């Protein structure tokens, strides 16, 4: 990483309720045992907290790295968009691989680890702060996504050169392999998994998908159709934060559903102005008209895999 400044950044740890503090202590001990973090005397510090995973009775350790990211040179996106599953050839058989804990298997450079330090307070300040820093790629750092993309691409590049008759797409830790013949597909999948594991990563065996319907990057792929997965549209956002979530949910499905920027302009224009995510937000009549168009498209539209024998026209 390239740093804009050498002076340490210290952001005080936030106060946490007893339940969350006990959860934080348990998660930190778990990460220490796995070798993802180590105790430190670093002069850097950023706050940590815990978030419950959606629809699960499990917690996730979250490190607030906004101020740290501000003093890191931006690497930029190596992969500026999602690969479209509609470009997969019709009647080809896909298989989807999920790399387990991808970030936790990518080591940080030793010179960069002290900057990603945090403090774990004790209940009622009964003990000194436990201070730790990350040894692996931390989630929340602005360049983590780009580094992860580069790392996985580096692993898959020899496989793509070896199996030229297969389509191999990846985005972050999700890998899609597609081939016209099952034996060739199985061989490609086997060699891909071997390459990933040889690089020190693990595969979620229970999430390797061989049969329809396949789920990939928010899409549901069947033999002849591709549709978005079930997407809940919040049609009455109360704050700017809610509006950001709504627009983010809509934005990634627009190309698949044929929704134009003109259709969504009244809605996205409301994002301008205030930077306070908790500020109140009210939809204009024009913005309210945009939401039913998205809901209708989600329920009725679909795309199909490409037919290789037909001419492909690309127009700008």
Q: Which CATH superfamily is domain 231-300 in?
A: Reverse transcriptase/Diguanylate cyclase domain (3.30.70.270)
Enumerate the CATH 3.30.70.270 domain ranges in the chain, comma separated.
85-104+143-226, 231-300
| pLDDT surpassing 60 at residue 102 | yes
CATH number of 85-104+143-226: 3.30.70.270
| pLDDT surpassing 80 at residue 15 | yes
Question: In this predicted model, what pLDDT tens digit does every residue of 173-216 receive, in sequence order?
Answer: 899 999 999 999 999 999 999 999 999 999 978 888 999 888 88
**Which whole number is the average pLDDT over 284-307?**
76
Higher per-residue confidence, 226 vs 8: 8
Structure tokens at 204: 């979620």
Supply the mean pLDDT for the chain: 86
| pLDDT surpassing 80 at residue 156 | yes
Of 230, 235, 259, the C-alpha closest to 246 is 235
Higher per-residue confidence, 312 vs 29: 29
| pLDDT surpassing 60 at residue 316 | no
Question: In this predicted model, what pLDDT tens digit does every residue of 82-98 receive, in sequence order?
Answer: 777 778 888 899 999 99
Return the top range by mean pLDDT from 24-28, 77-81, 140-144, 252-256.
Answer: 24-28
Q: Is 95 exposed, middle or buried (0-12, 13-18, 19+ CB in 10 A)?
A: buried
Query: What confidence tier does 239 reach under pLDDT thresholds 50, 70, 90?
Result: confident
CA distance 91 to 84: 16
Structure tokens at 217: 């990057």
Q: Is 288 exposed, middle or buried (0-12, 13-18, 19+ CB in 10 A)?
A: middle
| pLDDT surpassing 70 at residue 164 | yes
Q: What is the DSSP string of 64-114?
A: --HHHHHTB-----SS-SPPPGGGSBTTPEEEEEEEETSGGGSBPPTTTGG
Enumerate the CATH 3.10.10.10 domain ranges in the chain, comma separated.
18-76+106-134
If DSSP codes are grouped into helix, strand and coil, which group holds residue 178?
Answer: strand
Predicted local confidence at residue 45, as pLDDT? 97
Predicted TM-score (pTM) of this structure: 0.77
Predicted local confidence at residue 85, as pLDDT? 78
CA distance 27 to 11: 21
Asked if CATH classification 1.10.3720.10 holds for the domain at 18-76+106-134, the reply, yes or no, is no
**Which whole number is the average pLDDT over 32-43?**
96
User: What spatial distance separates the first Cα and last Cα of the chain, rounded to whole Å?
Assistant: 37
């Amino acid at each position: 990483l390239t740093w804009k400044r050498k002076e340490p950044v210290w952001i005080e740890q936030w106060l946490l309720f007893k339940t969350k503090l006990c959860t934080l202590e348990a998660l930190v001990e778990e990460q220490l045992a796995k070798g993802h973090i180590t105790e430190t005397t670093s002069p850097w510090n950023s706050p940590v907290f815990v978030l419950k995973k959606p629809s699960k009775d499990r917690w996730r350790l979250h490190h607030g790295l906004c101020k740290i990211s501000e003093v890191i040179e931006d690497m930029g996106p190596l992969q500026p968009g999602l690969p479209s599953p509609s470009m997969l050839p019709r009647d080809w058989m896909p298989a989807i691989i999920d790399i387990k804990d991808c970030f936790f298997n990518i080591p940080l450079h030793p010179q960069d680890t002290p900057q990603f330090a945090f403090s774990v307070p004790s209940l009622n300040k009964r003990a000194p702060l436990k201070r730790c820093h990350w040894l692996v790629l931390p989630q929340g750092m602005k360049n983590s996504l780009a580094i992860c993309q580069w790392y996985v691409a580096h692993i898959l590049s020899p496989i793509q050169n070896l199996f030229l008759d297969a389509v191999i797409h990846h985005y972050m830790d999700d890998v899609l392999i597609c081939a016209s013949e099952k034996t060739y597909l199985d061989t490609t999948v086997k060699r891909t998994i071997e390459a990933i594991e040889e690089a020190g990563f693990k595969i979620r065996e229970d999430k390797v998908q061989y049969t329809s319907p396949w789920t990939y990057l928010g899409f549901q792929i069947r033999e002849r159709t591709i549709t978005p997965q079930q997407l809940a549209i919040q049609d009455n956002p109360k704050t700017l934060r809610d509006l950001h979530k709504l627009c983010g949910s809509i934005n990634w499905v627009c190309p698949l559903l044929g929704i134009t920027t003109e259709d969504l302009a009244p809605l996205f224009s409301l994002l301008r102005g205030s930077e306070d995510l908790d500020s109140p937000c009210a939809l204009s009549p024009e913005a309210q008209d945009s939401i039913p168009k998205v809901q209708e498209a989600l329920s009725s539209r679909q795309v199909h895999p490409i037919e290789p024998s037909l001419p492909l026209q690309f127009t700008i």
